[in-house]
Amino acid sequence: MSKVFIHTVGCQMNVLDSEMVIADLKRHGYTVVDSPTDADCVLYNTCSVREHAEDKIYSALGKIRAAKESDPSKMIGVMGCMAQKDQETIFKRAPYVDMVVGPGQLHTIPELLQRIGRGEGRQLAVSLSRTEGSQATIARSHETFDPLRDPTMRPTPFQAYLRIQIGCDKFCTYCVVPNTRGPEQGRPPAQILSEARTLAEQGCREITLLGQTVNSYRYRDGDSTTDMSSLLEALHEVDGIDRIKFVTNYPKDMTERLLTTVRDLPKCSPYLHVPAQSGSDAVLKRMKRGYTIADYMEMFERIERILPEAAVSSDFIVGFCGETEEDFQKSVALIERCRFKNSFIFQYSVRPGTQASKRLEDDVPHDVKVRRNNELLAVQDAIAKEDNKKLVGSVVEVLVEGPSKKAAKADPDANVVQMVGRTPCDRIVVFDGNRRQAGQFMKIAIDDALVHTLIGRVQTVDVVSIDLARS
């Protein structure tokens, strides 16, 4: 039996893609191993969003070279966004790679591996570029093969990602994703619902719907259109699924209708990841984000009004082309005003093929990017810690995911272990418990709070009267 090892970087889309590729390969007789040394086939699922993510993969490919040279039958595959973006360049930079497969062609992997095994040489399978055909043909070449699900490949069988949207059409000037993942397409609601039911039958209790601009979801069938709100209403009816989250949101599509739907459907988590990217109108304009800070604040105030207890999180890019100190201070001010639950902060990285790489100068020096990154993170972390501290003394409801990383490495027979769960607002909670609690909803009394973690203990007294839903 052939053995496969997979190394995954990048966003949730990639985690989901790896899960499906492995499920597919298992159906074709492969077993999964956790070291590249033991594997007959080593796969890298890659990301192109920043140069650093690509560098890490090229360096991993450099390391595997010796193993391939001493055992030429070991197959090396590069899949995901960097495969789509770099294509043959990967064979040029690492000639011992056997296979390059874009995110829209992952279903071909078992067949490609067979061809390599038969001695047919290197295999390349990528989707069409954004100018290589009609809109419909390009879109079809980026379609994914989501219905294959395998609960054993997920860190916990109780939670799963469910893709509802493929690709992106927003074309923010810095971003490579519209090129690597192709045109925006909503998946048919019937497919999404049937996948949710399969997940529920497999014991999954929480689903996180995925899309690059998930709240722009739309599917047209003749005269009828399903939008994000109607999709949430339909998913809410699936028995066994108790929690629904969705990422990533686009600020302009966070409508009154969507927010009231989230408010009115108890299974929908009041957790909204809505990246702002910058606090400065001038920078947002150069990023072509399609909104001003006044628009963002109008949206934010809509969230505060309709879902007052919601946790909102964001992404920021520091050091984008032409970002002045004054622009940067506006990002600081936005974090201070919105008090995000957390923010992912990135230093701008020029991406070949994007509008910014062609038209704008990457003129903020590296050391300034680093300083702004640290400064913004410090402001965000102080806020997160302060807001988490306010939860000390309260009781939250968590879905228990399993033992913490620390506990997973410790004695497997211990009775009491540190367990991890998440609140509806996506806050991480650790507490002493036992492994059997994985997959259960539990009430946890919070005793202490750090920047990214709440520390608590299992609440034994009945707390029905406490409002748990908004934490």
Least gap, CB of 49 to ligand SAH (angstroms): 5
CB 420 within 8 A of CB 401: yes
Q: Report the residue number, 125 or 172, with the smaller CB distance to ligand SF4.
A: 172
The Cα–Cα gap between 395 and 439 comes to 19
CB 384 within 8 A of CB 396: no
Q: What's the first-to-final CA gap in the chain, in angstroms?
A: 47
The only residue of 81, 90, 299, 429 in contact with ligand F3S, by rule CB under 6 A: 81
Least gap, CB of 101 to ligand F3S (angstroms): 13
The Cα–Cα gap between 314 and 345 comes to 9
Residues contacting ligand F3S: total by CB under 6 A? 13
The only residue of 4, 5, 8, 13 in contact with ligand F3S, by rule CB under 6 A: 13
Least gap, CB of 14 to ligand F3S (angstroms): 4
Q: Report the residue number, 179 or 388, with the smaller CB distance to ligand SF4.
A: 179
Q: From residue 463, give the alpha-carbon distance in Å to each of 416, 434, 459.
A: 23, 21, 8
For residue 47, say whether it is annotated as part of any ligand binding site.
yes
Q: Report the residue number, 11 or 33, with the smaller CB distance to ligand F3S.
A: 11
Question: Looking only at residues 315 through 334 of this chain, which bind ligand SAH when binding is defined by CB under 6 A?
Answer: 315, 317
Binding partner of 50, given ligand F3S, ligand SAH, ligand SF4, none, CB within 5-8 angstroms per partner class:
ligand SAH
Binding partner of 469, given ligand SAH, ligand SF4, ligand F3S, none, CB within 5-8 angstroms per partner class:
none
**Rounded to the nearest 5°, which phi and psi values hold at 277?**
75, -40
Binding partner of 463, given ligand SF4, ligand SAH, ligand F3S, none, CB within 5-8 angstroms per partner class:
none
Q: Is residue 349 a contact residue for ligand SAH (CB under 6 A)?
A: yes
- Count of CB atoms within 10 A of residue 121's CB? 8
The Cα–Cα gap between 135 and 133 comes to 7
Least gap, CB of 183 to ligand SF4 (angstroms): 11
Part in contact with ligand F3S (CB under 6 A); list of ranges 8-16, 144-152, 368-376, 441-449: 8-16
Least gap, CB of 183 to ligand F3S (angstroms): 14
Q: Position of tokens 């109008």?
A: 298
Binding partner of 10, given ligand SAH, ligand SF4, ligand F3S, none, CB within 5-8 angstroms per partner class:
ligand F3S
Question: Looking only at residues 180 through 199 of this chain, which bind ligand SAH when binding is defined by CB under 6 A?
Answer: none
Alpha helices in 289-346 (DSSP H): 293-306, 325-338
The Cα–Cα gap between 338 and 304 comes to 10
For residue 175, say whether it is annotated as part of any ligand binding site.
yes
Binding partner of 171, given ligand SAH, ligand SF4, ligand F3S, none, CB within 5-8 angstroms per partner class:
ligand SF4
Part in contact with ligand SAH (CB under 6 A); list of ranges 87-95, 202-210, 252-260, 342-350: 342-350
Binding partner of 116, given ligand SAH, ligand SF4, ligand F3S, none, CB within 5-8 angstroms per partner class:
none
DSSP string, 396-411: EEEEEEEE-HHHHHS-
For residue 268, say whether it is annotated as part of any ligand binding site.
no
DSSP string, 98-165: -EEE-TT-GGGHHHHHHHHHTT---EEE-PPPTTSS-HHHHHHHT---TT---GGGSS-TTEEEEE-E
Handedness of CA 244, 247, 252, 253 (dihedral sign): negative
Residues 6+ away with beta carbon under 8 Å from 126? 83, 84, 87, 100, 101, 102, 104, 105
Residues 6+ away with beta carbon under 8 Å from 80? 10, 14, 17, 44, 45, 46, 47, 102, 103
User: Residues interacting with ligand SF4, by CB under 6 A?
Assistant: 168, 170-172, 175, 177-178, 212-213, 250
Residues contacting ligand SAH: total by CB under 6 A? 16
CB 393 within 8 A of CB 446: yes
Q: Which residues are at the interface with ligand SAH (CB under 6 A)?
A: 49-50, 174-175, 177, 212-213, 248, 275, 277, 315, 317, 346, 348-349, 351
Annotated binding site: 11, 47, 81, 168, 172, 175
Q: Which residues are at the interface with ligand F3S (CB under 6 A)?
A: 10-11, 13-14, 47-49, 80-81, 176-177, 180-181
